Amino acid sequence: MPAIEPSQLAYLATKNTRVPAEGPKAIPVQLKFATLATADLDLDLTNAQQLTKISLVQCMYVDNGRNGSPLTITVLNSQMNVTVQPNTQAFIPIFCPSPVRMHFTSNGAIDDCFVFLLNFPVSPFLWKTV
C-alpha cells in the first residue's frame, strides 16, 4: 500500500477551540436562494479579515428550517463539505483556514437560508424544525 509522504502534506495554521483576542463575534449571512436565479452563492471574507473585522471562523449556526431543500456549504480552503438537511437548524464546528472563503449551494430552495459565521467554538448540535 502506498504511503503519504510528509513532504506531500500542507500545514495550515488554525486557532480553533478558543475565543480570539477581538472577542466573540458573529457575521450574519442571508442566503437569498428563493429570490435569485441561482442555486450557488460564494462568500469571501478576505477584505473583512484584512480590515480586522473578524480574524477567523470556527463554527456556524445554520438555519435551513424553512427550506425544503438541503443546503451544502463548502469551506474552500480546507475543502470541507457540510450538508444541512431540509427543515433543520444546526451549530456546526468547521475547519476554516484564513482567508475565509465559502461556497453555498441549495437546489430548489423555497425560502431563504440564514448562516451565522462565529469566531468562537460551539459544541455541535442539530435539530429538526418540523
Q: What is the pLDDT of residue 14?
A: 60
pTM of the full structure: 0.84
Cell of 122: 460551539
Find, among 102, 96, 98, the residue nearest to 121 by Cα: 96
Q: Which domains are present in the chain? A: 26-128 (2.60.120)
Whether 124 contacts 91, CB under 8 Å: yes
Q: What is the pLDDT of residue 130?
A: 80
Residue 5 has pLDDT above 90, yes or no: no
36-84 confidence digits (pLDDT tens)? 767 889 999 999 889 988 999 999 999 999 888 899 999 999 999 999 9
79-99 confidence digits (pLDDT tens)? 999 999 999 999 999 999 889
Whether 14 contacts 117, CB under 8 Å: no
